[in-house]
Structure 1
Amino acid sequence: MIGQRIKELRRGKGYSISKLALLAGVSKSYLSYIERGLRNNPSLDFLSRIAEPLDTTVDFLLNEQVKTLFQDTNIDEEWKILLNKAIDNGMTKEDFLTLQNFIEFKNWKIQNS
């Protein structure tokens, strides 16, 4: 879990939640929610702010989460390739959600015509 990874790195640096939040310029309460697993999808902006004072990278923070996504689900190989290609081409979670919302709207419109 990403929150656990952040917590371990923070403790390894000897930082309190307050100290890391101050160094990263993020909300102490939001950081606490992430660490406790009450929020599970921090933005890339948040992760990049946290990564710097922890002397790590966003990739490192996300690595375990991405591996878990592919290992714990029944995503076939074609989906993995498509997802990786989209990410490599710069697609963000927000882009994906926008596309998903468009498809839902399109399907709704077809059903209600």
Structure 2
Amino acid sequence: MIGERIRSLRKERNLSLSELAERADIAKSYLSAIERNIQHNPSIQVIEKLANVFEIPIQYLLPPEDVADTSLELDPEWLQLAKEAADSGISKEEFSQFLEYQKWRKQQSK
């Protein structure tokens, strides 16, 4: 679904695959895989980059709520922690980097 939306938007705007990949700063091969639904779960960072190029809200590229996987409901405490992080001025990128660092630390301690 995401791939179909991206391809449709790209064609509406008369962009080649190469042009869109360059503007979004993602690999052309990765973008191609997304559009062909080979890579059907791109990262939120990639989706955000594409939404920025298209100048649309990120939600437009995400699956509709009724189609999204609702089996993974977030614990209210996790939601509160994310809200507190955002309210304190921590950017999504900083939070993502922190998580990557924690994963790395955990892996190093094994």
Q: Normalising to structure 1: TM-score of the pair?
A: 0.61
Task: Work out the number of aligned pairs and report it.
Answer: 88
2:54 matched residue in structure 1: 54
CA RMSD, Structure 1 to Structure 2 (Å): 3.2
Structure 2 residue identity aligned to 1:61: L
2:29 matched residue in structure 1: 29
User: Pairwise mapping of residues 35-74 of structure 1 onto structure 2 (< 5 A)?
Assistant: 35-64=35-64, 66-69=65-68
2:18 matched residue in structure 1: 18
Gaps of 5+ in 2: 83-95, 100-110
**Which structure features the higher share of helix residues?**
1
Shift of residue 89, structure 1, vs aligned partner: 6.0
Which is greater in Rg?
1
Structure 2 residue identity aligned to 1:67: D
Shift of residue 59, structure 1, vs aligned partner: 1.2
1:108 matched residue in structure 2: none
Deviations 1:46-95 (A, max 9, x none): 0111111112121111143x43135xx8x5xxx7xx349566864xxx98
Q: How has the CA–CA distance of structure 1 residues 4 and 88 changed in structure 2, closer, same or farther, with 3 Å as cutoff?
A: farther
Sequence identity percentage: 34
Gaps of 5+ in 1: 96-113
